[in-house]
Amino acid sequence: MTGGASGLGFATAQKLIAQGAHVVIADLPSSAGDEQAKSLGDRARFVPADVTETEQMKAVFNAAEEMADLRACVHCAGRGGALRILDHEGNAGSLDHYEGLIRLNLVGSFNVLRLAAERFNRNEPIADERGVFILTASVAAWEGQIGQIPYASAKAGIVGMTIVAARDLAKRLIRVCTIAPGIFDTPILARLPQEVRDSLGASAPHPARLGQPPEFAALAAHIIENQMLNGETIRLDGAIRMQPR
């Protein structure tokens, strides 16, 4: 479980623990991952890791395999960051900033996917399956707002890799799906004034509110259980279509 110290990731960790799974939370050393893992009990561990660092992620999967067979990986780690193509003075936007967000959100996703698939491939099949991998995209993959160009690019890349990865790994009995959330009530949004949060929630047609992390977790758990879900990106957004700004 990457990005498992808060928000969507932690809610998913809670859901899987409740269903009897063992969970490794992978998040940055500066996160609350250790405290969150302890709150989940003996079937949870925290391993600090950057998803773009291969050796750190190998340590995460080693820890998971010490607890139980690695059969599922939910990848929630990532972040946004505003960038305009031209700034207010007409100067070109920062290429370093763009590349950094692409590296974390897209390259990091591929890194975790490839390393998890390697471990899944060693498993003996259970009910004709070795493992399932769940990526996290965003509605920004289709309707990125002004200033979201690196984030939208990365999330569109995740959507694009989903069906390719599922087809690539099908003969190895490994499934790949992606969840694309709309506007969810995460720690990032918690910093905003309540009236802003209410306005964001009201922009969804129905339900006209912010999504709740347990709703993301419920879908992730269902994908793990339902073998016919493969190669699919599922929008979880209350039918929202984001406006330009």
The catalytic site residues sit at 151
Q: What is the helix (H) or strand (E) element at residue 135, kind and residue range?
A: strand 131-136
80 secondary structure, DSSP code: -
2 secondary structure, DSSP code: B
Number of other residues whose CB lies within 10 A of the CB of residue 192: 12
Q: What is the helix (H) or strand (E) element at residue 233, kind and residue range?
A: strand 233-236
Which residues, in sequence order, are bridge partners of residue 75?
2
Helix (H/G/I), strand (E/B), else coil: 235: strand
Closest Cα partner for 187 from 43, 52, 9, 62? 9
Which residues, in sequence order, are bridge partners of residue 72?
132
CB-facing half-sphere around the CA of 65: CA atoms within 13 A:
13
Q: Is 163 exposed, middle or buried (0-12, 13-18, 19+ CB in 10 A)?
A: middle
